[in-house]
């Protein structure tokens, strides 16, 4: 178990006395509003004093970026390796934080032995059921919610080609979303107390993909498939994002009796040659954060908001964009809160 950060008192003083900072810290606002506010984390960074202090002081929920994915948990065929995931769970327990699990079924980030294994559908079915059961039982009582299936649909809402669907699949490749359903049934058997989520990208507003997600989830609910919610990832690159369709989509999903979690929120900005964003863009970014948070907290069925990382010092966007975009998160590279942080605190504090 990790010890509290040695510069904890300095960090609290800094955050609470910075002129631009709101009177409440983010975690305080979230606790008062009874909403979960989380972030994705990397276990190896928990030894960084500023990283761990900011994380524990500002968030009441965490999710590992990669530490519970197949290629980490089962990088070899014969054994499970829970060390990195356990680090995240131990940190969360030490700091009274909830843990979301991510993710059990995905067509990406699978180890070579699996992706190139030439398994039969029967073998893949056994492997997937074993994986879901073993991982969920290991974290039973510690991980309260799981992204069971991640990004199974393409941009048009069709089931994507994947090892689990049709390459060669688990034996249900001619039955559309049946393999997704099966994964949820196996997950419920493994840990009946965990909340089970379908997590998806680019289906946050109203479009062909979100319509397909809605139709699948409505069908699942009507047939009593054990699913509790949907995760809307929310990787944003538009500073003028219209959030009205997002609010409408959240409303129709929660009307099905599902919870909604915003699971991977970040708002990337163009960077200059020195790697900095313009101040005017940071202000526009803050308004995007504000409107997305508002769309969530105004609906009682939207119960969690999570960013994909929290400091610009460690973000996937820089490498993904080859350094042309970034500055997407609530804290800058020195852990100073940005206008987006203030906007998020203010909006959560206004939760009805």
Catalytic residues: 151, 264
Q: Is the omega angle on the peptide bond into residue 168 within 30 degrees of 0, that is, cis?
A: yes
Beta strands at 269-270 and 325-326: parallel, antiparallel or unpaired: antiparallel
Q: Is the omega angle on the peptide bond into residue 242 within 30 degrees of 0, that is, cis?
A: no
Name the residue among 176, 79, 162, 179 with its Cα closest to residue 115. 162
Distance CA 181, CA 160 (A): 15
Sign of CA dihedral 54, 58, 62, 66: negative
CA angle 28, 32, 34 (to 5 degrees): 115
Cα end-to-end distance, the chain, whole Å: 37
Distance CA 82, CA 61 (A): 19
DSSP code string of 74-122: TSSTT----HHHHHHHHHHHHTT-EEEEEEEE-SSS--HHHHTS---HH
What one-character DSSP code corresponds to residue 46?
A: G
- Cα separations in angstroms, 7 against 23, 53, 258: 21, 8, 41
Long-range contacts of 158-165 (CB under 8 A, 24+ apart): 158/212, 160/107, 161/107, 162/107, 163/107, 163/110, 163/114, 163/115, 163/124, 164/105, 164/107, 164/124, 164/128, 165/107
Distance CA 314, CA 50 (A): 12
What are the φ and ψ backbone dihedral angles of 285, each rounded to 5 degrees? Answer: -60, -40
């Amino acid at each position: 178990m990790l010890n509290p950060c040695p510069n904890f008192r300095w960090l609290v003083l800094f955050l609470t006395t910075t002129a631009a900072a709101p009177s409440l810290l983010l975690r305080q606002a979230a606790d008062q509003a009874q909403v979960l506010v989380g972030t994705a984390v990397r276990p190896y960074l928990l030894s960084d004093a500023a990283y761990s202090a900011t994380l524990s002081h500002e968030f009441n929920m965490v999710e590992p970026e990669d530490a519970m994915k197949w290629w980490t948990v089962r990088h070899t065929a014969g054994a499970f390796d829970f060390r990195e995931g356990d680090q995240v769970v131990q940190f969360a327990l030490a700091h009274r934080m909830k843990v979301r699990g991510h993710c059990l079924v995905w067509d990406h980030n699978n180890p070579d032995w699996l992706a190139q294994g030439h398994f039969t559908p029967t073998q893949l079915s056994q492997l997937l059921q074993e994986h879901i059961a073993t991982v969920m039982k290991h974290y039973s009582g510690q991980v309260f919610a799981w992204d069971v299936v991640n990004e199974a649909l393409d941009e048009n809402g069709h089931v994507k080609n994947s090892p689990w669907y049709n390459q060669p699949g688990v034996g249900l490749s001619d039955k559309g979303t049946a393999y997704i359903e099966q994964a949820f049934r196996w997950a419920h058997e493994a840990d009946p107390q965990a909340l089970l989520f379908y997590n998806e990208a680019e289906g946050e507003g109203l479009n062909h993909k979100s319509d397909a997600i809605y139709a699948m989830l409505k069908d699942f609910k009507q047939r009593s498939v054990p699913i509790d919610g949907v995760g809307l990832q929310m990787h944003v690159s538009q500073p003028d994002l219209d959030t009205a369709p997002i609010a409408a989509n959240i409303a129709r999903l929660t009307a099905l009796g599902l919870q909604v979690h915003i699971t991977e929120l970040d708002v990337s900005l163009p960077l200059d040659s020195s790697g900095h964003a313009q101040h005017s863009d940071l202000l526009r970014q803050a308004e995007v954060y504000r409107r997305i948070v508002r769309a969530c907290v105004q609906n009682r069925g939207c119960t969690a908001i999570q960013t994909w990382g929290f400091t610009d010092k460690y973000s996937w966007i820089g490498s993904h964009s080859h350094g042309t975009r970034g500055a997407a998160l609530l804290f800058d590279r020195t852990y100073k809160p940005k206008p987006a942080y203030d906007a998020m605190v203010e909006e959560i504090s206004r939760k009805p």
